[in-house]
Amino acid sequence: MKVVSTKDVTRTFQLGDVAVRALRGVDFDLARGDFAAVAGPSGSGKTTLFNIIGGLDEPTSGEVIVDGSPLSSMNRKELARLRLDKIGFVFQAYNLIPVLTAYENVEYPLILKKVGAAERKQRVEALLEAVGLKDMMHRRPAQMSGGQQQRIAIARSLVCDPVVVLADEPTANVDSETGADLLELMRRLNEEKGITFLFSTHDPAVMEAARRLIRLKDGRIVSDVRQGDAPAAG
């Protein structure tokens, strides 16, 4: 089942008198259970593509479909709801709310969805257990390491049972050992729970871990290959 499809997506930015073509006809489908990475040099269009898939930006032309719904048919309120219900985000800067505890950061999307307190507690504690930080649930971000903060961000991205997690350079701000631990965590969540991950990355370790590697150059897909022997989950 396709959870994300991009159909001939283009994006052009106007910088003064210069038109910059960030994306030039991007086409690909992401299946449920994929563990895929989009790689390419700076300026290749990775961030632009992720912003468009996440409904944070609009393509100049083409279409993005998430879980069967075309984004072009949605207004701002509907796009915000789509992000809350269907898309998990993991950012390289973590984007945790500093005044909230780890528990509260993970819980926050469920409060926005008006999920009841008992169910919130069950979901949040289960995810904190899954990422190995249940014993740190009452700490604030400043009291945790970068790797621990990213684990909390991963738990938050999963709490609403999204159809896809968009992980933008998730290992960029941690050391290689912590990055390897985070990759192993996400790989395990993918294999055991069938969670679909799409990474944007410069990190060779992420590229190697991905079961599918999509390479962008100058706004175009130049290769899209399956790698490794592990079957897609789900």
Phi, psi of 94 (to 5 degrees): 75, -50
Structure pTM? 0.90
Q: What is the CA radius of gyration of the chain?
A: 17
Give DSSP secondary structure letters for 161-188.
--SEEEEESTTTTS-HHHHHHHHHHHHH
The residue assigned the tokens 């409904």 is 55
pLDDT of residue 234: 37
Give DSSP secondary structure letters for 209-233.
H-SEEEEEETTEEEEEEE-SSPPPP
CA distance 3 to 86: 10
Give the strand pairing for 18-31 and 2-15.
antiparallel
Per-residue pLDDT of 119-138, as tens digits, reads: 999 999 999 998 999 999 99
Nearest alpha carbon to residue 126 among 191, 189, 179? 189
pLDDT of residue 212: 95
Question: Is the pLDDT score of 196 beyond 50?
Answer: yes
Window from 1-10, 57-66, 184-193, 206-215 with minimum mean pLDDT? 184-193
pLDDT band at 219 (very low <50, low <70, confident <90, very high): very high
Are 167 and 210 spatial neighbours (Cβ–Cβ below 8 Å)?
no
Question: Is the pLDDT score of 233 beyond 60?
Answer: no
The residue assigned the tokens 């100049």 is 60
Burial of 67-102, coded b for 16+ CB within 10 Å and e otherwise, reads: beeebeeeeeeebeebbeebbbbbbbebebeeeebb
Token digits for 10?
């283009």
Domains contained in the chain, CATH given: 2-226 (3.40.50.300)
